[in-house]
């Protein structure tokens, strides 16, 4: 049985820096708030939660439940520089997980996002998730390419699926990755 609570892994980035990946803990609250506070409005406008509001992060911390959401954070030295979460499906989609990721601006383009997503793929496999999905704004071409490089496939586009606070809508790409071999059923 996989124990996510004690999971730890060091990864090396393309710029030579070493980063620790581990589950989000209650003591990370201030550093996670700082990660989002330092981000530009442009960087956070496409996130599903109001991450610039410290109450949102506090709610996450107060309701940590690794059975439902598995948040993994990245630390470089004493700074929290990334957050990726696996949202586990329920009932008829209990074999599907959704992945969401956010990185500090100065840690983009150095391989951290790829390392975090690959690590979350391994975690997902260990807990029985068979498919991972990611919703990506269709205009974010670099993000789409990054997910493709990691084995995610574009399954469909959803017109006007994401609506910002100002009412502007954006098309979303639904990306999926199979984590297990397809089952062969004989009839």
Asked, for residue 137, whether it belongs to a domain, the answer is: yes
CATH number, domain containing residue 108: 3.40.630.30
**What is the predicted pLDDT for the residue at 102?**
98
Q: How far apart are the C-alpha atoms of 38 and 71, rounded to whole Å?
A: 20
Whether the pTM exceeds 0.75: the reply is yes
Q: Please state the domain count of the chain.
A: 1
Asked, for residue 27, whether it belongs to a domain, the answer is: yes
**What is the predicted pLDDT for the residue at 165?**
87
**What is the predicted pLDDT for the residue at 14?**
96
The continuous run of DSSP H or E covering 143 comes out as helix 141-149
Q: Which residues of the chain have a pLDDT value below 50?
A: none
Give me the domain span that covers residue 86.
4-178
**What is the predicted pLDDT for the residue at 23?**
98
**What is the predicted pLDDT for the residue at 4?**
96
- Which are the contacts of 133, defined by CB distance < 8 A and separation ≥ 6? 96, 97, 98, 99, 174, 175, 176, 177
Q: How far apart are the C-alpha atoms of 159 and 165, rounded to whole Å?
A: 17
């Amino acid at each position: 049985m996989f124990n996510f609570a004690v999971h730890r892994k060091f990864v090396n980035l393309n710029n030579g820096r070493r980063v620790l990946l581990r589950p989000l803990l209650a003591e990370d609250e201030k550093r996670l708030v700082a990660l989002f506070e330092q981000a530009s409005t442009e960087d956070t406008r496409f996130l599903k939660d109001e991450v610039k509001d410290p109450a949102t992060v506090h709610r996450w911390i107060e309701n940590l439940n690794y059975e439902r959401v598995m948040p993994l954070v990245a630390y470089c030295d004493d700074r929290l520089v990334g957050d990726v979460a696996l949202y586990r499906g329920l009932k008829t989609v209990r074999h599907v997980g959704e992945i969401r990721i956010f990185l500090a601006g100065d840690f983009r383009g150095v391989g951290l996002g790829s390392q975090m997503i690959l690590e979350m793929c391994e975690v997902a496999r260990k807990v029985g998730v068979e498919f991972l999905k990611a919703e990506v704004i269709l205009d974010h071409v670099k993000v789409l390419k990054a997910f493709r490089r990691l084995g995610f496939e574009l399954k469909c586009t959803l017109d006007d699926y994401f609506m910002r606070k100002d009412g502007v809508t954006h098309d979303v790409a639904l990306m999926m990755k199979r984590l297990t071999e397809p089952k062969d059923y004989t009839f």
